[in-house]
Structure 1
């Protein structure tokens, strides 16, 4: 029975890595930071797989991209660490972990899942905006003002991500019993 659970875990990690990749290609161009569905799938990974496996699925996605596979919105390769938006990718890993940790801190009910989603969202934005600010100033020698950064990388993007938090919670509540997530059946 233990081998079946390990296999199921690996399959789910691979499946969410593929979903995150697909989410990178579904995007709405917004100046500075594009809006994609990556956040939806990294959040669902944390909720459905839990903190460790959710973060593992997201980390695998980032590793594949850094290894050169074109899984990121703008391609792939180690040079992607110098892209201003790379911080969001790092934030996705931490966000998946935080979302899963909060969602599974007790029986995953809708309130706990939503709190986890919004906490994960805050972590993603913290990593993403800080990295964007630093890389723009230090590496690109084209500093972006705090106001401009806040407008383009938060104000314009966060309404869509709030909607994705709500969608994640709805989808997770429906999918968790089907996938037989601990605490839901």
Structure 2
């Protein structure tokens, strides 16, 4: 990996961390800008985006307070940790395709968002049941952990695509091509 790529991965790890602190408290999991930066990293860094998200998650797990509620290895017992796992899978999926057609970018980002939601909700159910002994109805989980966030996350996807397209058209071609 080139130094430029390492710097970009570190930059996006920091942006994802900053996005964790720009939050609106709703339901159990706050609304943050993390999804925006994960999708944006996936579009710009492509296949290298997973390193950026892994760096962010590792920073939090070693104790740096970069997650919405702090950090540390015990964070794996927080029901919302599944969304962080979803970020990793989503960045891998969204970043692996090269097509820059607007519709393709939107559809692949929406699939990545669905991955984040599915993994996040399944992890939430698992931790709540196994660790806390609580059971929630499927309708409550879907409403409280998905539908509440969907409009904002769809807006984040659209904003990521706009930013990506602006960057793609304004940067020299050799910079964007080196991310393939």
TM-score bracket for this pair, using the shorter chain length: over 0.9
Residue 92 of structure 1 and its aligned partner are, at CA, apart by 0.3
Q: In structure 2, what is the Cα distance between the partners aligned to 1:42 and 1:157? A: 15
1:81-120 equivalence runs, <5 A: 81-102=76-97, 104=98, 106=99, 108-120=100-112
- 1:33 correspondence with 2:29: yes
Which structure has more relative contact order (CA 8 Å, sep 6+)? It is: 2
1:58 aligns with 2:58: no
1:31 aligns to what SS in structure 2?
Answer: coil
Give 3-state SS (helix, strand or coil) of 1:181's partner.
Answer: helix
Q: Following superposition of structure 1 onto structure 2, how do residues 1-185 of structure 1 map, counting pairs within 5 Å?
A: 6-51=2-47, 53-102=48-97, 104=98, 106=99, 108-177=100-169, 178=171, 180-182=175-177
Unaligned stretches of 5+ in structure 2? none
Q: Distance in 2 between matches of 1:34 and 1:130?
A: 17
**After the TM superposition, which segments of 4 or more aligned residues of structure 1 sit over 4 Å from their partners?**
none
SS in 2 for 1:42: helix
| Whole-Å separation in 1 of the counterparts to 2:124 and 2:44 | 29
Deviates more, 1:110-119 or 1:133-142: 110-119
Alpha-carbon distance between aligned partners in 2 of 1:125 and 1:162, rounded to the nearest angstrom = 12
Q: For the residues of structure 1 that align with 2:12 and 2:168, how far apart are their CA atoms?
A: 14
What is the aligned length?
Answer: 176
State TM-score, norm by structure 2. 0.93
Q: CA deviation at 1:119?
A: 1.1
SS at match of 1:50: helix
* Cα-Cα RMSD: 1.6
